[in-house]
Structure 1
Amino acid sequence: MGQLVYAANTSLDGFVEDAAGSLDWSVPDEEVHAFWNERERGIGTSLYGRRMYEAMRVWEDDDWLAGEPDVVREYAAVWRDADKVVFSTTLQEVTTSRTRVERRFDPAAVRALKETSAKDLSVGGATLGAEAFRHGLVDECLLVVHPVAVGGGKPALPAGVRLDLELREERRFAGGAVLLRHAVRRTT
């Protein structure tokens, strides 16, 4: 059975993007990029909302990768090797391989996908992640906290949802980012 992992880059004040929608402060250095590459190798299926999928589909195209460092080109291969499910009512078609669209988020279907998966699954994007948290589907929360406070924007974690967490790993990166990996404890 696969675990569902919510993974995100976040600011110190808890946002995945700033008030203008910018992510420029979270561009990973080589060490953090290598961490994400290794982490994503264990993912068999990535769950995305439309906006996150549209941001991530750049990894399907080789044109821009020619002059990039090895660690960046390596991530493209890792991303392409995973299946992708995009939850969207507006996306007309997908333009990447190993990708399908689901018109609505069905917690029972995600639970079944976890139960039949030999590898872990990831949920990308704060909005879709919030839905997964609300339905008790997330098993692990992995945040790379960057040394910046952006003052507002899209929260990394859902409002109105209590999460009891157990610290499993912490790691400092040379550039100042910190990994916090928590198991989500089930409460009844």
Structure 2
Amino acid sequence: MRTLTYAMNVTLDGYIAARGDDIGWGVPGAELHQWYNDRAREIGVSLYGRKLWEVMSAHWPTADQQPDADPIEVEFARIWQATPKVVFSSTLDEVSGNARLFAGDAVAEIARLKADDGAPMEIGGATLAGAAMRAGLIDDYQVVTHPVLVGGGTPFFSALDSWVNLRLVETRTFPDGVVLSHYESRR
């Protein structure tokens, strides 16, 4: 059975995007970007909600070809391009690259994918991750907290029907005061 990790940049006040879907506060420094590259290399399937897919697919398919791209960005772009992706959306008509579109029951499809053998999966996008959280499908939470308060926007955690007990397995501080808190679900 595969594991499922929810990992995203988050503000100190708990948002993955500020009002207006602004994520400009979360640009990673070199050490954090390398951490993202290293973990992305281990991912077998990435699960995206529509909004996050639109952000990622607008940049990473050609990021390695940009003249101002640094080696860490080129590396991430190539890892991202090679990783199979499932995009969950009922409003998109198609997706491109190494991705497939799924418009049905997201929770059932995520559970089906988890039941397969294979490398770990990651999930991104607050709405999609929220549905997986409520269904008890997320095994790991990797909260990458940036030292900024934005006062509102899209929260990292959605409303839950019941508690999710977690166990802290790792903390790490990056330059610029960014802190990784890695938790496992205790079932």
CA distance in 2, matches of 1:121, 1:63: 23
Where 1:60 maps in the other structure, the secondary structure is: coil
Please list every run of 5 or more consecutive structure 1 residues that lacks an aligned counterpart in the other structure: none
Q: State the one-letter code of the partner of 1:91.
A: L
Q: Say if 2:33 is the partner of 1:33.
A: yes
CA distance in 1, matches of 2:4, 2:186: 13
Determine the structure 2 residue equivalent to 1:164. 165
CA distance in 2, matches of 1:15, 1:153: 6
1:35–1:62: structure 2 CA closer, same or farther, 3 Å change rule? closer
The CA RMSD over aligned residues, in Å, is 1.3
Determine the structure 1 residue equivalent to 2:46. 46
1:62–1:174: structure 2 CA closer, same or farther, 3 Å change rule? closer
| Normalised TM-score (structure 2) | 0.94
Where 1:33 maps in the other structure, the secondary structure is: helix
Contact 1:65 1:72 in 2 (8 A): no
Figure out how many residues of one structure are paired with residues of the other and give that number: 185
CA distance in 2, matches of 1:76, 1:105: 29
CA distance in 1, matches of 2:109, 2:128: 14
1:63–1:30: structure 2 CA closer, same or farther, 3 Å change rule? closer
Please list every run of 5 or more consecutive structure 2 residues that lacks an aligned counterpart in the other structure: none
Contact 2:4 2:139 in 1 (8 A): yes
Determine the structure 2 residue equivalent to 1:60. 61
Residue 76 of structure 1 and its aligned partner are, at CA, apart by 0.3
Contact 2:167 2:186 in 1 (8 A): yes
CA distance in 2, matches of 1:181, 1:173: 14
CA distance in 2, matches of 1:175, 1:118: 35
CA distance in 1, matches of 2:91, 2:173: 39
Determine the structure 2 residue equivalent to 1:180. 181
Query: Superposition pairs for residues 63-74 of structure 1, below 5 Å?
Result: 65-74=66-75
| Normalised TM-score (structure 1) | 0.93
CA-to-partner distance for each residue in 1:113-149, whole Å, 9 max, x for gaps? 1121310000011111101101111000011000101
